[in-house]
Chains A and B, each alone.
Chain A
Amino acid sequence: MKRKSEPYVSTTNACKLCKPLGACLAFRGIEGAVPFLHGSQGCATYMRRYIISHFREPMDIASSSLGEKNAVYGGGANLKQGLHNVMTKYGARLIGVATTCLTETIGDDVPMIVRKFRQEKKGRERGPEIVTVSTPSYAGTHMEGFHAAVKAVVEQLARAGAATEAVNLLPGFVSPADIRYLREIFRDFEIPGIILPDFADTLDGQAQVDYEKIPAGGTPLEAIKRMGASRATVELGRTLFSQETAGQVLVERFDVPLHRLGTPIGLRETDAFFQILEQISGRPAPEPHAGERGRLLDAYVDGHKYIFGQKAVVYGEEDLVVGLTAFLAEIGVRPVLCASGGGSGRLAAAIAAVTGGLLPEPPVVREGMDFYEISEELEALEPDLLIGHSKGYHLARKRGIPLIRVGFPIHDRFGGQRILHLGYRGAQSLLDRIVNAILEKKQEDSRVGYGYL
């Protein structure tokens, strides 16, 4: 593979989003929480629009709506007024305050402003929890923001206490359907789980009689406070392992044993996940799941010839890319490019670890990519399919190849919040979609028009 001599200075069609967006998503997965951005009004509005277009759910993000004066003299007063309004109008039980590039650069000391706010409110009714997280958009992507928010929640709320039977599950940024499925797995193992964040209901809710100021659901605050007393933590995502995470905080502060695993996509990564749950619960995988695994293997056999040797390009968030690549490698699809806009520095190692022994040659792995660069790489790689979110559609269209839509955002199809990626069931669904995409392409390209494939 020829590498161009120097990377581009400009970014064209980014394959990442900004840090505060990830923090808002994570906060949305906590019971009674309102995400709050300390910055210009536009940040909150843009992110709301972006998130709403995927989940098709209300997504209120409050803002301190800083103006020019605040940028000069500091945004403390606006932040306090905003917190007060969210407290009184929304009845928030938790306000998750994330900073933006504006407030980081003018140097607002958010934890201090919040401390003062709390002091001023002291003596009156018990206010909401306020969690603060630093998310300057110029350092890291939405995924760093997501994990930073989860870590901030644990750091600022979890406490020690009498040991419980609960297991903390930190799934990373997965879909509401994935979270519901994880809950089901824990229930079947009879493991009391604390999933953080849990936006299965808040970002995929039901029809309502009244507009809920804060959608029902989310990780209960009381459960978060007890996370320091849980018997174990399971934290998902292989590229996470270099930074300090919520799981590590729980180890360092409360000695909660930590199991770090890859995002369980495909057979082997899911097996590893189930193995840990078997170990924790002391029982074999419950029947429905063992059955699903068996059917998945059967489907691997039924589908293998249609997809063998097909070349795939995978892009998106690093942990999702790693999981998808693990899955593709084991079903005989050849990942030729694994690309992300993220920059953990660990993508290549993680891809090598999950594809070892399965691929005739390793895929090209690139961090810090935008879609212009991905497009350039595609020229030589000539893939048969793309796997990633909807922002890669223009590449699929240009090359006339199928795009398997996964992850976030899905802005050009219906039901993005219901896409299942994880576990045996998620692998089954992904396999069905990939095989069918290949069959459809073959059928459409054929002059014969076979009606029996």
Chain B
Amino acid sequence: MEPAIFEERQEQIHRKGQQPFEMACNKESLAGAVSQRACVFCGSRVVLYPIADALHLVHGPIGCAAYTWDIRGALSSGPELHRLSFSTDLQEKDVIFGGETKLYQALTELIDRHHPQAAFVYSTCIVGIIGDDLEGVCRKVSREKGIPVLPVQSEGFKGNKRAGYNAACQAMFRLVGTGDTAGISPKSLNILGDFNLAGEIWIIRDYFQRMGLEVVANITGDGRVDDLRRAHGAALNVVQCSGATMDLAIMMKEIYGTPYIRVSYFGVEDMAESLYSVARFFNDPEMLHRTRELVREELSLLQPQLQVYQRVLSGKKAAIYVGGAFKAFSLVKAFRLLGMKVVLVGSQTGTPEDYQELHDITDEGTIIVDDSNPLELSAFLKEQDVDIFVGGVKERPIAYKLGVGFCDHNHERKEALEGFIGMLNFAREVHNTVMSPIWQFMPRRRGKSISKGVSG
């Protein structure tokens, strides 16, 4: 049997310091390599899912809807229509004769039942093949029901998750500009690329409000259709995440002239810098002052508590494999704040610029990977003897099987990890797994002793 690295993937793996940095990425996944990636549909579903007062109808066979039913911790402060899983459940006869009639009937039935503010209709692989006129059906239903009915061109095979982000942004962009912007403050913004997992967007909104800003639209965590429609009235788009909603920000800049800045709410450093960069944008000394106060206040609360964790976690080794590279940047910095060493970092969908930045912020010897797989990841975890692996549900069993601690930093998580409070939660999560007494009993660690953790 060959070593764990596929020959075709060698250019998607880099060890910092060995040779000049060059990294292949944005490639189609290698067949048979068990990529951790999903598909176009998944990308669209992830972005649009938290819009809580819209109907999300998956036009396709049952699987695509079943596997995305209420799996994320994207919370809503009001309606919860997004937590239901709607499907046209296409059958053989629909595949042969076309699914348009069924789609029309299903849409009509569901809109009459739930009275949503808008409907998103997701296309799946099979719809792309049988050639249903999604656009036509959506237009007809929209006319009849008087709400926006938006096709999402998310056929699974038409690229990777990024293509799905784009399809989602295209669909949302049709809503933007259709609402009344009267009364929106000039000191206002939209929050893009936050999905309100475990209530995170509420933490961020609170910061912005304390700075004296009006939040027009949450895109898309705790999102509402009407807010999206008037999102073009905001003075600034603040975009988090590796591009899930970047395309929307770009389109809004082109058409409505709304400027955007990129931010991250993970980790103390990036969180503070995000608030400062927003304050700098508005060029308002009072706001800048308020922001400084806010950061000072939050840090004074956070630091004493954080120190307790820093003491015991210092020197431990971490591995990171996440969907988007932007999250990886913040995690590298967050681990550094805890005094931990990142020995492996990678993403499913990073761009060349993303990997360059990862290269710049990591230490010598750090392994950087693009679109990795269980065989590679497990080989690196073992080689680097890591203490904690950060990833999503699919990465968890890789870590656990080898007797390595794990932190879920994906959409299923139920812990708020954003904001200053999020850094503390993150430290606690890391601590609770790294310092558990169980590792010493695992075959991999048998015999090695483990230092004392924080009690209570």
User: Does B157 lie within 8 Å of A49, measured CB to CB?
Assistant: no
CB of A270 closer than 8 Å to a CB of B? no
User: Does B66 lie within 8 Å of A138, measured CB to CB?
Assistant: no
User: Does B67 lie within 8 Å of A46, measured CB to CB?
Assistant: yes
User: Does A58 lie within 8 Å of B398, measured CB to CB?
Assistant: yes
User: Which one of A8, A63, A71 lies within 8 Å of B34 (CB-CB)?
Assistant: A63
User: Does A42 lie within 8 Å of B40, measured CB to CB?
Assistant: yes
User: Which one of A81, A89, A136, A210 lies within 8 Å of B2 (CB-CB)?
Assistant: A89
User: Which one of A46, A57, A78, A85 lies within 8 Å of B63 (CB-CB)?
Assistant: A46
User: Which one of B67, B94, B126, B159 lies within 8 Å of A47 (CB-CB)?
Assistant: B67
CB of B130 closer than 8 Å to a CB of A? yes
Given contacts A46-B63, A63-B35, A71-B128, contact A58 B374 (CB under 8 A): yes
User: Does A139 lie within 8 Å of B92, measured CB to CB?
Assistant: yes
> Which A-chain residue is minimally distant from B163 (CB atoms)?
A68
CB of A59 closer than 8 Å to a CB of B? yes
Q: With A and B bound together, what is the CA distance between A322 and B102 in angstroms?
A: 31
User: Does B125 lie within 8 Å of A10, measured CB to CB?
Assistant: no
Contacts of A57 in B (CB 8 A): 397, 401
Q: With A and B bound together, what is the CA distance between A136 and B125 in angstroms?
A: 12
Contacts of B397 in A (CB 8 A): 52, 56-59
Contacts of A105 in B (CB 8 A): 95, 125-126, 129-130
User: Does A84 lie within 8 Å of B32, measured CB to CB?
Assistant: yes
Contacts of A394 in B (CB 8 A): 70
User: Which one of A40, A50, A205 lies within 8 Å of B125 (CB-CB)?
Assistant: A40
CB of B1 closer than 8 Å to a CB of A? yes
Q: With A and B bound together, what is the CA distance between A162 and B106 in angstroms?
A: 57
Given contacts A207-B401, A391-B69, contact A48 B394 (CB under 8 A): yes
B41 to chain A, nearest CB (A): 6
Contacts of A446 in B (CB 8 A): none
User: Does A60 lie within 8 Å of B32, measured CB to CB?
Assistant: no
User: Does B157 lie within 8 Å of A40, measured CB to CB?
Assistant: yes
Q: B110-152 interface mask toward A, CB cutoff 8 Å, 1 = contact, 0 = none?
A: 1000000000000001101110000000000000000000000
Give the most central of B2, B28, B33: most A CB within 10 Å: B33
Q: With A and B bound together, what is the CA distance between A102 and B127 in angstroms?
A: 9
Contacts of B160 in A (CB 8 A): 41
Chain A binder among B79-87, B283-291, B313-321: B79-87
Give the most central of B34, B41, B65, B394: most A CB within 10 Å: B34
User: Does B394 lie within 8 Å of A89, measured CB to CB?
Assistant: no
Contacts of A13 in B (CB 8 A): 69, 84-85
User: Does A207 lie within 8 Å of B442, measured CB to CB?
Assistant: yes
User: Which one of B63, B91, B106, B402 lies within 8 Å of A139 (CB-CB)?
Assistant: B91
Contacts of A81 in B (CB 8 A): 30-32
User: Does A40 lie within 8 Å of B32, measured CB to CB?
Assistant: no
Of residues 56 through 109 on chain A, the ones whose CB sits less than 8 Å from some CB of chain B are 56-68, 70-71, 78-79, 81-86, 88-91, 100-102, 105-106
User: Which one of A56, A65, A89 lies within 8 Å of B35 (CB-CB)?
Assistant: A65
Q: With A and B bound together, what is the CA distance between A8 and B89 in angstroms?
A: 11
CB of B23 closer than 8 Å to a CB of A? no
User: Does B61 lie within 8 Å of A85, measured CB to CB?
Assistant: no
User: Does B63 lie within 8 Å of A9, measured CB to CB?
Assistant: no
Chain B binder among A17-25, A221-229, A253-261, A356-364: A17-25
CB of A137 closer than 8 Å to a CB of B? yes
Given contacts A137-B61, A207-B403, contact A88 B157 (CB under 8 A): no
Contacts of A210 in B (CB 8 A): 378, 382, 402
User: Does A41 lie within 8 Å of B89, measured CB to CB?
Assistant: no
User: Which one of A17, A62, A65 lies within 8 Å of B28 (CB-CB)?
Assistant: A65
Given contacts A36-B32, A105-B129, contact A43 B443 (CB under 8 A): no
> Which A-chain residue is minimally distant from B378 (CB atoms)?
A211
B317 to chain A, nearest CB (A): 17
Tell me how many residue pairs across A and B have CB atoms closer than 8 Å: 236
Given contacts A17-B66, A42-B40, A42-B41, contact A102 B125 (CB under 8 A): yes
Of residues 289 through 341 on chain A, the ones whose CB sits less than 8 Å from some CB of chain B are none
CB of A12 closer than 8 Å to a CB of B? yes
CB of B29 closer than 8 Å to a CB of A? yes
User: Does A11 lie within 8 Å of B84, measured CB to CB?
Assistant: no
CB of B24 closer than 8 Å to a CB of A? no
CB of B295 closer than 8 Å to a CB of A? no
> Which A-chain residue is minimally distant from B108 (CB atoms)?
A9
Q: A105-128 interface mask toward B, CB cutoff 8 Å, 1 = contact, 0 = none?
A: 110000000000000000000000
Q: With A and B bound together, what is the CA distance between A366 and B34 in angstroms?
A: 38
Q: With A and B bound together, what is the CA distance between A160 and B454 in angstroms?
A: 64
Contacts of A9 in B (CB 8 A): 88, 102, 105-106, 109
User: Does B129 lie within 8 Å of A71, measured CB to CB?
Assistant: yes
User: Does A16 lie within 8 Å of B400, measured CB to CB?
Assistant: no
User: Which one of A39, A49, A84 lies within 8 Å of B394 (CB-CB)?
Assistant: A49
User: Does A10 lie within 8 Å of B38, measured CB to CB?
Assistant: no
Q: With A and B bound together, what is the CA distance between A65 and B125 in angstroms?
A: 12
Q: With A and B bound together, what is the CA distance between A10 and B130 in angstroms?
A: 19
User: Does A89 lie within 8 Å of B62, measured CB to CB?
Assistant: no
User: Does A17 lie within 8 Å of B63, measured CB to CB?
Assistant: yes
A72 to chain B, nearest CB (A): 9
User: Does A86 lie within 8 Å of B62, measured CB to CB?
Assistant: no
Contacts of B102 in A (CB 8 A): 9
CB of B256 closer than 8 Å to a CB of A? no
User: Does B6 lie within 8 Å of A101, measured CB to CB?
Assistant: no
Q: With A and B bound together, what is the CA distance between A48 and B42 in angstroms?
A: 14
A130 to chain B, nearest CB (A): 12
A57 to chain B, nearest CB (A): 6
Q: With A and B bound together, what is the CA distance between A49 and B394 in angstroms?
A: 6
B210 to chain A, nearest CB (A): 35
CB of A213 closer than 8 Å to a CB of B? yes
> Which B-chain residue is minimally distant from A40 (CB atoms)?
B156
Given contacts A10-B87, A14-B85, A208-B401, contact A61 B34 (CB under 8 A): yes
User: Does B159 lie within 8 Å of A68, measured CB to CB?
Assistant: yes
User: Which one of A20, A71, A209 lies within 8 Å of B157 (CB-CB)?
Assistant: A71
> Which A-chain residue is minimally distant from B392 (CB atoms)?
A49
B323 to chain A, nearest CB (A): 11
CB of A443 closer than 8 Å to a CB of B? no
Contacts of A47 in B (CB 8 A): 63, 67
CB of B250 closer than 8 Å to a CB of A? no
CB of A53 closer than 8 Å to a CB of B? yes
CB of B39 closer than 8 Å to a CB of A? yes
Q: With A and B bound together, what is the CA distance between A163 and B65 in angstroms?
A: 47
Q: With A and B bound together, what is the CA distance between A169 and B147 in angstroms?
A: 55
Given contacts A16-B62, A40-B157, A101-B125, contact A138 B91 (CB under 8 A): yes
User: Which one of B1, B31, B40 lies within 8 Å of A78 (CB-CB)?
Assistant: B31
> Which A-chain residue is minimally distant from B55 (CB atoms)?
A10
Contacts of B4 in A (CB 8 A): 89
CB of B277 closer than 8 Å to a CB of A? no
User: Does A11 lie within 8 Å of B88, measured CB to CB?
Assistant: yes
> Which B-chain residue is minimally distant from A38 (CB atoms)?
B31
Contacts of B35 in A (CB 8 A): 41, 45, 63, 65
B409 to chain A, nearest CB (A): 15
User: Does A58 lie within 8 Å of B85, measured CB to CB?
Assistant: no
CB of B184 closer than 8 Å to a CB of A? no
CB of A44 closer than 8 Å to a CB of B? yes
User: Does B394 lie within 8 Å of A52, measured CB to CB?
Assistant: yes
Contacts of B174 in A (CB 8 A): none
| Interchain Cβ contacts under 8 Å between A and B, 14 examples | A9-B109, A11-B88, A18-B66, A45-B35, A46-B42, A63-B34, A65-B31, A89-B375, A101-B125, A136-B92, A138-B126, A139-B91, A213-B1, A213-B375
Q: A9-B109, A101-B95, A208-B403 are in contact. List 19 more A-B contacts (CB 8 A).
A: A10-B105, A11-B86, A14-B85, A21-B63, A60-B374, A61-B34, A65-B35, A79-B31, A84-B32, A89-B2, A101-B60, A101-B126, A136-B92, A136-B95, A207-B442, A208-B402, A209-B402, A209-B443, A210-B382
Residues of B within 8 A of A (CB): 1-2, 4, 6, 28-42, 57, 60-70, 84-92, 94-95, 102, 105-107, 109-110, 125-126, 128-130, 156-160, 374-375, 378-379, 381-382, 392-394, 396-398, 400-403, 412, 442-444
The 4 closest A-B pairs by CB, nearest first: A42-B39, A18-B63, A85-B32, A82-B32
